[in-house]
Amino acid sequence: MRRNRFHIAGQQADPEVIEAARAFSAPLQEPDDLDPLMDRIGASRYALLGEASHGTHEYYTWRAKISKRLILEKGFSFIAVEGDWPDCHRLNQYIKGRAGGSAREVLHAFERWPTWMWANEEIVDLAEWLRRHNKGVPEEKKVGFYGLDVYSLWDSMYEVMGYLHKKDPSAVAAARRAFQCFEPYGEDVQEYARATVWVPTTCEDEVIDLLHEMRKLPQPEGEGREAHFVAEQNALVVKNAEAYYRAMVRGGPDSWNVRDQHMAETLDRLMQFHGHAAKGIVWEHNTHIGDARYTDMADDGMVNIGQLVRERHAKEGVVLIGFGSHRGSVIAGQEWEAPMERMPVPLARAGSWEDVLHQMSPSNKLLIFPATGVAKMLMERRGHRAIGVVYHPEYEQYGNYVPTILPKRYDAFLYIDETEALRPLHMQPVEEHEVPETYPSGM
């Protein structure tokens, strides 16, 4: 997710706003309480499930409950997540019964920071359920697990090279040229990106040529079809990762947009690969899932996957589902690549959407928003908390709230009044982060 800025003063959650929101609210305690959401999803082909942090237990477990019902009751084909393609492909192989061991062993190998996003007990439980579900299911009906993200430049390049060595040695030259172009920077993609600011040469042509060579190969049928698809996707990651890191050092919205456009393109490829009847579940942060046009992100020239999928596939059925909470705890780091910590999540800012829903009642809720008929007072921008992998709870008054028109940003919203941190597989021994006593708990 992006580093958020706070643009609007905290409004008070007056009783009329609370009552207006109550009209779309229902209790959320048991899995059966998701029935209205299942009805809302109906025959839609796209269900995008958000989260207000990357480290909250309940966001993962409720998304798992929703996903299981979508798979069992509505025949959804795969789960695609805000994770790296090569790592998630290894988990996909385990889930489909093509690799032994355990989900815990596979997930322990997720090494890119923040490891806890996918290397956690909550995903272990889901992955083992998916493996059991896939047993005895025809190969073409097995539910997959895929990564949508763009960060794995080097891992993906190694995967492409390995595939080309096996399938078409004559095409290896393109991969070797890409390797040689990046070689002066080791495997430090940020060093490469910084260098392109001062030197007017890049590896853009080499990675485009690599993707072109992959796409020239004949697409096999049968067992080789998926391996070819995976290799081509890795080549696409290499191309878009190069553009992403180059844009990142220039600043502005370009790198964000490259990343989300890549994720939307990958989702389109997955739907095409799974056939005309495919249905896809997406797990990403609210800042990616919630339609950017109804936040201040649009003011900054940013788009996201929620907006792009709505624009491209509205006729096929798209449901965007956000998450939020009032208080609790979370796993995050104090800076990029810092050790993970269990941190407190303070009470939501006065006047925020989370505060409105807490004042309605201190209990979990499911909100389903209609396309029309929403009270005008709910169509105003109001702060909506967004916690990233880097988090400083004592400084929430300076950030972490995205001005949002909630009934337009999402089609449905799960509110969890109090949450707990998720359970990482390899938690590092760091003392729990404490909020100073002087911190205003109501902010």
Domain limits, the chain: 1-76+279-443, 85-147, 153-252
Angstrom distance (rounded) from CA 2 to CA 297: 10
Q: How far is CA 251 from CA 132, 134, 155, 248, 388, in A?
A: 45, 44, 25, 5, 19
Average pLDDT, the chain: 91
The pLDDT score that the predictor gives to residue 250 is: 83
Collect the ranges in the chain with pLDDT lower than 70.
1-13, 199-200, 428-443
Give Cβ neighbours of residue 100 (< 8 Å, ≥ 6 apart). Answer: none
Give backbone dihedrals phi and psi of 10, rounded to 5 degrees, phi first: -70, 115
Q: In which element (H, E) is residue 344 found?
A: strand 341-345
Check residue 49 and report its DSSP letter: E
Query: Is the CB of residue 441 less than 8 Å from the CB of residue 412?
Result: no
pLDDT of residue 403: 96
Q: So what's the pLDDT on residue 9?
A: 41
- Written out in words, the top-level CATH class of the domain with range 1-76+279-443 is alpha beta
Instruction: Summarize pLDDT for 196-242 with one digit per residue, the tens.
Output: 877 667 899 999 999 999 999 988 887 789 999 999 999 999 999 99
Q: Which pLDDT does position 1 carry in this prediction?
A: 45
pTM here is: 0.92
CA dihedral of residues 365, 370, 374, 378 (deg, nearest 10)? 40
Q: For residue range 25-79, list pLDDT tens digits in order.
A: 999 999 999 999 999 999 999 999 999 999 999 999 999 999 999 999 999 999 9
